[in-house]
Each structure stands twice: as C-alpha cells, then as structure tokens.
Amino acid sequence: MTGALDQFGGQLRRDLLVAFRSPGELMNPLMFYLMAVALFPLGLGPAPDTLREVAPGILWSLALLSTLLSLDGLFRRDFEDGTLELFVLKVEPLFLGVVAKVVAHWLVTGLPLTLLAPVVGLMLFVPGDAIGVLIASLLLGTPVLSLIGAIGAGLTVGLRRGGLLLTLIILPLYVPVLILGAGAITAVMDGVEAHGQLLWLAAMLAAALTLAPFGAALALRVGMEQ
C-alpha cells in the first residue's frame, strides 16, 4: 500500500512539473475561457438581463470546451517521447497511475477554471447568491470531465490528429454534466434550491472516480496497440 501511494505521489509530482515547464500549454485553456467569456457581451450586447439569463449555459459550455481543449495532451506528450509505454508496462496498478495523471490534469485545468468562476460570473452579471453554486458545480463537475476525458484520451493516444475523434467520443458523455451544472446555477437564479443538481453531480463524481480509472487504463492498453 505504501509503495502504491509513493508511486502515485511520484507520478503526480512528475506530471505537475512537466505541465509547469510548458506555461504556454498551461495557459491556453484559461486564456480561451477568459477571452470567450469576454466576447459574449460584445456579441449579445451589454444588457445585464440578457447576459444574466444566458450566463449559466455560457459558463458551463466554455468550461467544458476549455477542459476538452487540454485533454488531447493528457497522454500525448508521454506517448511521443516514449515514456507512456514504460508507464503502461511498469506502473502497477495502472489505474492508480491514471488517477495521478487525471488529478494533475484537473489541478492545472479544472481547478484554475473553478477559481476564475467568480470573476467570469460577475462579467456576465451572475447574482452574488449564485456565485457559490457556480463554484460548487464546477468543483464537482470538472473532475468528472477530466475522468471521463481520460478514457477518450487513452483510446486516441496512438492516432495522429486524434483530437477530433476524441471530441466525437467524449462530447456526448459530457452532456449530462453540462445540463446539471448549468441547471444548478439557473435554479438558484430562479429562486429554487439547487441541492438536487449538486447531489447528482456528486453522484456522477463518485461513479466516475470508481469506474473511469479502470476504463482509462484499459483504453490506454488498447490505444497503445493502434
């Protein structure tokens, strides 16, 4: 058990170091998120009521797309330099190594998107009482996006230009997370409790944590054979 935890910690530290050595790739999803949010007032007009009404869908859709933008690199860099083959052959259990990679991905993508939520929420005139629900929904939902995305990233890692195929595989699976995340914010803005949506997101996170690492490990083995 101690050896597995040490292996998990070592893999997590390595992936974080690799991520921070490429600040350009690290900032791409965040810059996309901020710039895309800033463009909506220009396209829809500055009317607060209009922006407030569409804000939940915009914020969650862009968070989803920002996560998707970074998913192709989850295993791709290691595949190109040959370390992914050693990772698949040597890491035991493999699912725990996958969890470390997913956690690293969430820490450099999902967590910063969540921390930006109050800023982008205010840009779209989200009420103050809904900001907390926005943050909570992202904290619960973005790890699900990373976990599900790891399965698609594993399947397409051996393919050239696999980003489009990854999108086609993963995007339909993201729809329930999008609906629940945006629905939680909309519910609060309409004066209704959002406990139901948040509990469903928590249940999806528990299911993804339980099942997705095994699916991603199997997908990696299949993807490496392509």
Give the residue-averaged pLDDT of 37-63: 89
If DSSP states are collapsed to H, E and C, what string results for 41-97?
A: HHHHCCCHHHHHHHHHHHHHHHHHHHHHHHHCHHHHHHHHHCHHHHHHHHCCCHHHH
Domain range for 100 is 2-224
Confidence at residue 212, expressed as pLDDT on a 0 to 100 scale: 93
Q: Give how many domains the chain has, as a whole number.
A: 1
Question: Strand runs (DSSP E) across the chain, as ranges?
Answer: none
Counting residues of the chain whose pLDDT is more than 70, the rounded percentage is: 96
Confidence at residue 3, expressed as pLDDT on a 0 to 100 scale: 62
Please state which of the ranges 103-107, 135-139, 152-156 shows the lowest mean pLDDT.
152-156
Read off the pLDDT of residues 66-78 as tens digits, 9 standing for 90 and up.
998 888 888 888 8
Question: Does pLDDT of 133 surpass 60?
Answer: yes
The pair of three-digit structure tokens given for residue 18, joined into one six-digit string? 């690799």
Question: Does pLDDT of 1 surpass 60?
Answer: no
Our measurement of the distance from residue 7's CA atom to the centroid of its chain's CA atoms, rounded to an integer in Å, reads: 23
Distance CA 70, CA 32 (A): 11
Confidence at residue 134, expressed as pLDDT on a 0 to 100 scale: 95
pLDDT bracket for residue 2 (50, 70, 90) = low
- Tell me the one-letter amino acid at 215: G
If DSSP states are collapsed to H, E and C, what string results for 128-190?
A: HHHHHHHHHHHHHHHHHHHHHHHHHHHHHCCCCCCHHHHHHHHHHHHHHHHHHHHHHHHHHHC
Confidence at residue 73, expressed as pLDDT on a 0 to 100 scale: 80
Distance CA 99, CA 79 (A): 17
- If residue 7 lies in a helix (H) or strand (E), which one and from where to where? helix 2-20
Q: Which residue has the higher pLDDT, 165 or 214?
A: 214
pLDDT bracket for residue 150 (50, 70, 90) = very high
Give the residue-averaged pLDDT of 190-218: 93
